[in-house]
Amino acid sequence: MSDLLKQYRDQIDAIDEQMLKLVNQRAQLAREIGNVKNGGPIYRPEREAQVLRRLTEHNEGPLSGDAVTAIFRAVMSNCRALEKELSVAFLGPLGTFSEEAANKQFGGLSAPVQCSSIDEVFRMVESGQVDYGVVPVENSTEGAVGRTLDLLMATKLNICGEIALPIHHNLLSKSDSVDQIKTVYAHSQSLAQCHQWLNAHLPNADRQPVVSNAEAANIAKNNTNGSVAAIASTRAAELFSLNNLASNIEDDPKNTTRFLILATHDVAPSGKDKTSLVVATKNVPGAILELLKPLADEQVSLTKLESRPSKIGLWEYVFFVDIEGHHQDAAVSKALKELEARSSLLKVLGSYPVAII
């Protein structure tokens, strides 16, 4: 070994020793905090968001902000686990983007619970069988996930966080060459999101929609002659031992899915929050304008407005609205009171920190 290499490695060893001590000191403090919480919620998304925002702001590199975020998410996840192991339900099976989203937010899952439907995720949290649930709510190319919106309308749960997950698709197979592929399996949305790539690189391959990309990866794994490929995540490639024949094959490189975290408790303000609401109006001209006026008056910005049939009367609609700010902020609180007076229904689904990408 050269002298220089040894010198550098000795320095790294010394730093690692310091980091080990510091990270354990941090863990010890988190454990103490757990005792102080006295039965209150262990997971504090607002505090975790503040920690991550502060560290990425102070980061001078060479590590990227994303790298710093991932490292400290893992550190907090392990500190949190000393306070309590949290169970998190998501739409399974393993290898789905819902699992990836849950992993991203919680910095790794100590007690993952796979569910077979979005309804089951809600039920698991509502019945107290798990601590949190992660459900998809919208995709930048495909739009809203209707079932999640319908269930949000009826549930007593709170939204305690959001996760923005960039969706990257890969062509996975037992084979090691794209030329051998005759059939491509994937969820219909993923097939649609990779339409141009498939046209360009596999114009003659048969496209078979299946219930999930994880199911597609399982079919590819069980294929013996290497003629089958799946479109799925890099995590699915690992889980199902498949070769990644082509990475990032999605037509829109900015393709992102937004997930919500469901909880039985409220979240304190983090300084950069969002509030989600459901509002219903009478079916009269100008009703939506009337609804938006209190928000404009209080200078509260709208980040989303999505209409959905209320399922009560024919052509009656409810609106899913996201606004900037926390329901405890003075302007938001005033606007919400005014909104409540003007609407036939107002339900605050939750205030939570804006997603950290």
Ligand X SMILES: O=C(O)C(=O)C[C@]1(C(=O)O)C=C[C@@H](O)C=C1
Tell me which stretch binds ligand X (CB under 6 A): 73-81, 155-163, 260-268, 327-335: 73-81
Please count the other Cβ atoms lying within 10 Å of the Cβ belonging to residue 137: 24
- Restricting to residues 23-42, which ones interact with ligand X according to CB under 6 A? 30, 33
The residue within the footprint of ligand X, chosen from 49, 52, 79, 184 (CB under 6 A), is: 79
The residue within the footprint of ligand X, chosen from 49, 52, 69, 76 (CB under 6 A), is: 76
CA 191/CA 198 separation, integer angstroms: 8
CA 208/CA 227 separation, integer angstroms: 13
- Restricting to residues 290-349, which ones interact with ligand X according to CB under 6 A? none
85 versus 206: smaller Cβ distance to ligand X: 85
CA 213/CA 233 separation, integer angstroms: 8
Report the nearest approach of ligand X to the CB of residue 82 (Å): 9
Report the nearest approach of ligand X to the CB of residue 270 (Å): 11
Report the nearest approach of ligand X to the CB of residue 29 (Å): 7
CB 256 within 8 A of CB 166: yes
146 versus 271: smaller Cβ distance to ligand X: 271
- Residues with Cβ < 8 Å from 266, sequence gap 6 or more? 158, 160, 350, 351
Report the nearest approach of ligand X to the CB of residue 162 (Å): 16
46 versus 298: smaller Cβ distance to ligand X: 46
Of all residues in the shown chain, the one whose CB is closest to ligand X is 79
The residue within the footprint of ligand X, chosen from 68, 83, 126, 227 (CB under 6 A), is: 83
CA 260/CA 137 separation, integer angstroms: 7
b/e for 39-72, b at 16 or more Cβ within 10 A?
Answer: eebbbbbbebbbbbbeebeeeeeeeeeeebbeeb
The residue within the footprint of ligand X, chosen from 51, 111, 192, 354 (CB under 6 A), is: 51
Strand partners, 88: 112, 132
Tell me which stretch binds ligand X (CB under 6 A): 6-14, 59-67, 77-85, 144-152: 77-85
How many residues at the interface with ligand X, by CB under 6 A?
11
Report the nearest approach of ligand X to the CB of residue 130 (Å): 16
46 versus 100: smaller Cβ distance to ligand X: 46
Tell me which stretch binds ligand X (CB under 6 A): 45-53, 87-95, 128-136, 167-175: 45-53
Closest by CA to 169, choosing from 135, 216, 206, is 216
- Residues with Cβ < 8 Å from 41, sequence gap 6 or more? 263, 265
CA 354/CA 331 separation, integer angstroms: 18
> Does 131 help bind ligand X (rule: CB under 6 A)?
no
Among all residues, which ones are annotated catalytic?
257, 259
CA 214/CA 231 separation, integer angstroms: 9
43 versus 185: smaller Cβ distance to ligand X: 43
> Does 102 help bind ligand X (rule: CB under 6 A)?
no
Residue with tokens 């082509």: 246
Report the nearest approach of ligand X to the CB of residue 256 (Å): 24
Q: Is the peptide bond before 62 cis (omega within 30 degrees of 0)?
A: yes
> Does 48 help bind ligand X (rule: CB under 6 A)?
yes
Q: Where do contacts with ligand X occur on this chain (CB under 6 A)?
A: 30, 33, 43-44, 47-48, 51, 76, 79-80, 83
